[in-house]
Amino acid sequence: MIIMPLNATKPVYQDNSQPIEKRVEDALQRMTLEEKVKLCTAQSKFSSHGVPRLGIPEVWMSDGPHGVRAEIEWNSWSHARWTNDSSTAFPALTCLAATFNPSLAHDYGVAVGEEARYRRKDILLGPGVNIYRTPLNGRNFEYMGEDPLLASRMAVPYIQGVQQNGVAACVKHFALNNQEEWRGHINVNVSDRALYEIYLPAFKASVEDAKVWSVMGAYNQFRGQHCCHNDLLLNKILKQDWKFDGVVVTDWGGAHDTRQAALNGLDIEMGSYTNGLTSEAEFGYNDYFLADPFLALLRKGELPVSVVDEKARRILRLIFRTAMNAERPFGRYVCADHSATALRVAEEGIVLLKNRHNLLPVQPGKYKRIAVIGENATKNLTEGGGSSELKVKYQVSPLEGLQKTYGAESIVHAMGYSSGPSVYGRVEEPAEDQQKLFDEAIEVARNAEIVFFVGGLNKNHYQDCEGGDRQQFGLPFNQEKLISEILKVNKNLVLVLVSGNAVAMPWEKELPAIVQTWYLGSESGNAIANVLSGKVNPSGKLPFSFPVKLTDNAAHSFGALSYPGDSINQHYKEDILVGYRWHDTKKIKPLFAFGHGLSYSKYEYGKITTDKKSYTKEEVIKLTFTLKNTGSVDGAEAVQIYSSQPRASVLRPQKELKAFEKIQLKAGETKTVEIAVNVKDLAFYNDKTQSWDVEAGEFIISNAASAGDVKSSVKILIR
């Protein structure tokens, strides 16, 4: 640290009143070559170097997107065993996406950003915006669904909320990290059109609209180069085309070559392989590709100093926005406001998939004997899952929430099955007698008036977990048989599905009620009980499609070379037809459509109209329709606007989401909904001209409750 007399003038780089770019250049010209290189590499599992001689602090990072991870040791992945690092667990990002509520995404970002700031973190490693391509991807629960517009509109306010705390969001994983199987090396082949229309928009919005301060590269390869030093992705698209001025961070261990890392857009290299400092490990921090090997090439003149200067500028800019920003707030931690935000996100994200004969809501006092069956009613679902694991200050389990709402004396719980402990990277068999658990559950169900089956997936390896994809589309741990047998003894069965992925439902027609509840975090039990009891009217919508069978999914319909690949290459043969775009265009009916979600109210859509019948390519389409809550309870409906182009020179999907808005309506209330869509947003990416084109001709604009429930349409002409 520089020590100056009290009346001395601060160096420019230390002066917060100076423009950041001026501070960056002042700091840069004071640094040695060695200090510039040091900025580019890790010094511990979750921090990178500063410049101690100049008082420039290191950069501290933390997982994850739905809560600040517990502290781990300097050089290992073991917990540091602190006593003050328990956080609020916010719902996983699939749940946030299911709210279809961007303003709530901002509140979420503010809250998790405050917790990161309180814990003195400079980068929060999230949000994840990789597109849901297959229901087997182990990390889908961390992402925001299958539609690029939905992911974009939910990510932008989240990032803005985080960064108003002086904490950098780190949007990840850039790009095409759509599976965990062979994620470290699989080479993804995808068309330019699918790349720009499906897989890049959420990243682009994060950069251009949210002004995100950092981006994390992906493990996989794209067109023969690893994404953490991919010239096309990082240099051309991210930094040149999108004018990204922040820092590119590797995923941990995602760098593979010094020259490529130096020249192809990487700024900070983090890693998971070192287990000690330099001499204490075979591959220590000084051995990283952007450490001593990088310095050696610079000293020999094989790389120009301008290469490291460009990286140092970006890192200094990040530091001045975060650690050396004297105006950033102090943050808050595990407070009532954060719990309230977590609860509201959980409540708004829960999706009522099915409710035959209005079995739900179940008012307290209606039944005296309620069976709660399923391990997920009590299993800790904030542990496991890989880097998204959390050490929480508190959490309310589904069983606890239901007991509080309906009375503990009315509820009998039976596990029904056991999945074993959540251990990263391997499966551990459960110790319990599975047949005994099964038989006990059937008896409990037989003697109950209604059954809440709280099952689904969990954070075990090969479930919703980093490092491995799911091995089956059906429910694991004998749940399919258990549900079938329960239905034989009790037809009043409500499936409370906990997962971040779609699952097969061979007994769906027999089930009267299905509720998709995601991983809801600290307030899980309260949110579930509030929705099941009717205290909260459900308003969540699915952010991805539920196929009937796995081969109905686009990626799986083309065989192994499409997913998971041949261990070396894979080809996205479905191209732009991802999710509902595939189901609608190929006329393959899903089990539950993208955007689907029921309510305890009914909503009546009026006919959609436009302000005129024809538009130029520079104009805005103004859409209007009425929405009426015809039910007896207040509620909210996420209305969706889709477009289609019946006659085009290229393949266009049957429909594409172009806008959405969540409308609050009191019972009996009618509102006029006004939504604008830019004509330019009707474009497709022309891979021949490498530009976005809106073709003249007829388009159809529709209002809808889901991709499978279009209410009305209007034709317009683009000239």
Q: Which tens digit of pLDDT belongs to each residue from 222-249?
A: 999 999 999 999 999 999 999 999 999 9
| CATH code for the domain in which residue 152 is found | 3.20.20.300
Report if residue 634 sits inside a domain. yes
Q: Which of 501, 525, 544 is the last residue of a domain?
A: 544
* Domain contains 505: yes
Residue 268, CA atoms < 13 Å, CB-side half-sphere? 33
pLDDT at 547 over 80: yes
Domain for residue 593, yes or no?
no
Q: Are residues 230 and 190 in the same domain?
A: yes
C-alpha span between 657 and 643 (Å, rounded): 7
**Judgement on whether residues 510 and 605 belong to the same structural domain of the protein:** no
User: Any idea how long the chain is?
Assistant: 719
Average pLDDT for 303-321: 98
CATH of the domain at 700: 2.60.40.10
- Which listed residue (85, 122, 251, 552) is catalytic? 251
Instruction: Specify the pLDDT at position 75.
Output: 86
Query: Which pair of structure tokens corresponds to residue 141?
Result: 């629960």
Statement to judge: residues 523 and 642 lie in one domain: no
Token pair belonging to 560: 């192994």
Strand segments (E) across 606-690: 609-610, 614-615, 620-629, 635-644, 656-665, 670-678, 684-686
Residue 63 designated active-site: no
Whether 310 and 364 map to the same domain: the answer is no
- DSSP state letters, 561-594: TTTT-SSSEEE-TTTT--THHHHHHTT---SB-T
354 shares its domain with 295? no
Angular region, 477: left φ>0, alpha ψ -120 to 50, beta rest:
left
- The domain in which residue 102 lies consists of 12-321
Q: Tell me, what amino acid is at 3?
A: I
pLDDT of the residue at 282: 72
Q: What is the pLDDT of residues 405-463, one digit of tens each?
A: 999 999 999 999 999 999 889 999 999 999 999 999 999 999 999 999 999 999 999 99
Per-residue pLDDT band for 281 (boundaries 50, 70, 90) equals: low
pLDDT of residue 3: 52
Residue 1 has a pLDDT of 46
Q: What is the mean pLDDT of residues 519-537?
A: 98
Phi, psi of 450 (to 5 degrees): -150, 150
The answer to whether position 571 is within a domain reads no
pLDDT at 8: 64
Question: Is the pTM of the predicted complex or chain greater than 0.95?
Answer: yes
In this prediction, residues 382-391 reach a mean pLDDT of 91
Q: Would you say residue 426 lies in a domain?
A: yes
434 and 415 Cβ atoms separated by less than 8 Å? no
pLDDT tens figures, 90-123? 999 999 999 999 999 999 999 999 999 999 999 9
Domain-embedded: residue 342: no
Half-sphere exposure in the Cβ direction for 293 (13 Å, CA) = 17
Residue 114: its H or E element = helix 102-118
Are 536 and 615 part of one and the same domain?
no
Evaluate whether residue 198 is within a structural domain.
Answer: yes
Structural domain tally of the chain? 3
Q: Residues 58-91: pLDDT tens digits?
A: 999 999 889 999 999 988 888 999 999 999 999 9
pLDDT at 279 over 50: no
Are residues 317 and 413 both part of a single domain?
A: no
**CATH code of the domain covering residue 540:** 3.40.50.1700
Q: Same domain, yes or no, for 294 and 415?
A: no
Domain shared by 317 and 355, yes or no: no
Measuring CA to CA, how many Å separate 307 from each of 28, 180, 227, 232, 675? 13, 32, 19, 17, 46
Residue 324 has pLDDT above 50, yes or no: yes
Interatomic CA distance for residues 369 and 245, integer angstroms: 60
Residues 309 and 405 in one domain: no
Nearest to 2 by CA among 58, 57, 56, 54: 54
pLDDT score, position 274: 57
The Cα 628–Cα 322 span in angstroms is: 46
**Domain termination site, one of 544, 573, 591:** 544
Helix-strand-coil split of the chain, %, nearest 5? 30, 20, 50
Establish if 68 belongs to a structural domain.
yes
Which residue, 500, 528, 544, sits at the end of a domain?
544
Residues 430 and 315 in one domain: no
Residue with more model confidence, 673 or 3: 673
- DSSP secondary structure string for all residues of 119-139: TT-SEE---B------TT-TT
Residue 364 and residue 264 share a domain: no
